Amino acid sequence: MIENRLAKKILNILLGNGADFSEIFIQKRAFNNLRLEDSKIENSSSGYELGCGLRLWVGDSTFYAYVDSLEESKLINAAKILSSAINGTSSLKILDLTEAKSSYVTDIRKPPGSIQSDARKDILELADRSARDFNPAVIQVTSTLSDTAEETYIANSYGSFSSEKIVKIFLAVNVVARRGKNIRTGYKSLARSSGYEAFDFKNPADLALEASGIAVTMLDAVGAPAGELPVVIGPAFGGVIFHEACGHGLEADAVLKNASVFKDKAGKKIASEIVTAIDDSTLEYRWGSYKFDGEGFPSSRTVLIKDGVLQNYIYDLRTSKKLGAKQTGNGRRQSFRNVPFPRMSNTFIDSGDEDPDSIIRSVSRGIYAKEFAGGQVDPATGDFVFGISEGYLIENGKISFPIKDTTIIGNGPEVLKKIEAVGNNLDFAPGFCGKNDQLVSNEVGQPTIKVEKITVGGIKD
């Protein structure tokens, strides 16, 4: 994408007026998006973008610029303009660049460029037919398919460079079912850091059936009880509570800003002793995985909480320097137009020893929260409100009626302390995380867990 000769030249220009650090981030990305609604293609788009981000530090200040080009003259001019904005005292110079190494390796067997447009349409139509054939109550199906093929090159004034090819596939199916005046929805998605072989892992028809199953099942939902109740949270997407209510507080920039309830808690017990939580960007083909982060640092597995004790925060380069900590490979950015920040990758509560069925049997009266809808979280405190999109009553140790219009209200750090059981069925669910006006891909995960009690908001029929 760019010769190291030119990269070194640009880095040295950025350092020319006394910067403490300089960086070049190059990105080339091709993408396709397809949307099917009411059994018709409603939107189809493809695109290509190429550009370079330039960053430098002086003291505690960051300066950033980007160029929608890789022309040498434009890159050099942008570097000169950015460098002219500062007046530092350092006298650094880059003599050579060494390639960074990573153990993360994937095999892309069906890249997006090898897939015909009709094949993409066939995937959506298969999902549409499967969802509609599930039950006559299904009245609307919307499915979206997107793919991205990306290349990045990153070099910095510490003398390292990295390059990576990234391929991602995302399929989502949203189903609406109606019976009389009752209307319910079901949603499922599949996302992989892979080519179209992702659909060898999960058939689009099966994904659509799951979404329809949720929508139709929830038509029979009854009002939920209200008050403090034991809550069993299902595997995979149940991990969104840990992500939102706790994970953001473990990102080191929140710690630096005094905006985290976990500040100064390293080495202290913050959760039940049966809880171990991890951020791992090395998991093969996961939606939040990568070879290098957005700063060119190798991906890694970071134990955040072990046996209830806080072990690590989530760092990018800048926060690791400020806090004197080891970099974790979590400096992530949406594109070359953006500055990186500490961000989660694949973040999950690790598997335990309990059988999920035995966890359900241990509850005489409570709630099983399987899937969540929207919610609100205060990242500084961990206070949250989440809507349950698929939930059930637990009565006498058995899952009974589905429930509707139900929320859970609590505090993430307090929930961590009240976890009484952790299942052995760890699973993951993909999503997009927003922070500082940037979206990045990540996965949440957990096994089935039981929380002693959470405030449940419900409406009795």
Q: Which of 364, 366, 361, 374 is nearest to 458 (CA)?
A: 366
Identify the band that residue 459 occupies on the pLDDT scale cut at 50, 70 and 90.
low
Q: Which of 277, 258, 224, 250 is nearest to 388 (CA)?
A: 224
pLDDT of residue 458: 74
pLDDT of residue 1: 84
Q: What is the pLDDT of residues 351-363, one digit of tens each?
A: 999 999 999 999 9
Report the percentage of the chain scoring pLDDT > 90. Answer: 95
DSSP sequence for 288-353: T--SB-TTSPBP-EEEEEETTEE---B--HHHHHHHT----S-EE-SSTTS--EE--SEEEEPP-S
Across the strands, what pairs with 61? 58
Reply yes or no on whether the pLDDT at 460 is more than 80.
no
pLDDT of residue 124: 98
Angle, helices 72-83/4-15, rounded to nearest 10 degrees: 20
pLDDT of residue 155: 98
Q: What is the pLDDT of residues 209-250, one digit of tens each?
A: 999 999 999 999 999 999 999 999 999 999 999 999 999 999
Identify the band that residue 169 occupies on the pLDDT scale cut at 50, 70 and 90.
very high
Q: What is the pLDDT of residues 82-117, one digit of tens each?
A: 999 999 898 989 989 999 999 999 999 999 999 998
Q: Say how far apart CA 413 and CA 378 lie, in whole Å.
A: 12
Residue 264's SS3 state is coil
Identify the band that residue 422 occupies on the pLDDT scale cut at 50, 70 and 90.
very high
Across the strands, what pairs with 398? 395
Q: Say how far apart CA 299 and CA 152 lie, in whole Å.
A: 15
CA 266 from centre of chain: 24
Q: What is the pLDDT of residues 29-53, one digit of tens each?
A: 999 999 999 899 999 999 999 999 9
Residue type, 252: A
Identify the band that residue 379 occupies on the pLDDT scale cut at 50, 70 and 90.
confident
Reply yes or no on whether the pLDDT at 343 is more than 90.
yes
Q: What is the pLDDT of residues 118-139, one digit of tens each?
A: 999 999 999 999 999 999 999 9
Q: Say how far apart CA 388 and CA 364 lie, in whole Å.
A: 20
Reply yes or no on whether the pLDDT at 412 is more than 70.
yes
pLDDT of residue 375: 84
Q: What is the pTM of this model?
A: 0.96
Reply yes or no on whether the pLDDT at 198 is more than 70.
yes
Q: What is the pLDDT of residues 275-302, one digit of tens each?
A: 999 999 999 999 999 999 999 999 999 9
Q: Say how far apart CA 458 and CA 461 lie, in whole Å.
A: 10
Q: What is the pLDDT of residues 394-405, one digit of tens each?
A: 999 999 999 999
Q: What is the pLDDT of residues 52-76, one digit of tens each?
A: 999 999 999 999 999 999 999 999 9
Across the strands, what pairs with 51? 27
CB 61 within 8 A of CB 19: no
140: buried, middle or exposed (CB in 10 Å: 19+, 13-18, 0-12)?
A: middle
Q: Say how far apart CA 300 and CA 190 lie, in whole Å.
A: 23
Identify the band that residue 461 occupies on the pLDDT scale cut at 50, 70 and 90.
low
Question: At 313, phi and psi to the nearest 5?
Answer: -100, 175
- Enumerate domains of the chain plus CATH numbers: 4-99 (3.30.2290.10), 112-220 (3.30.2290.10), 223-457 (no CATH)
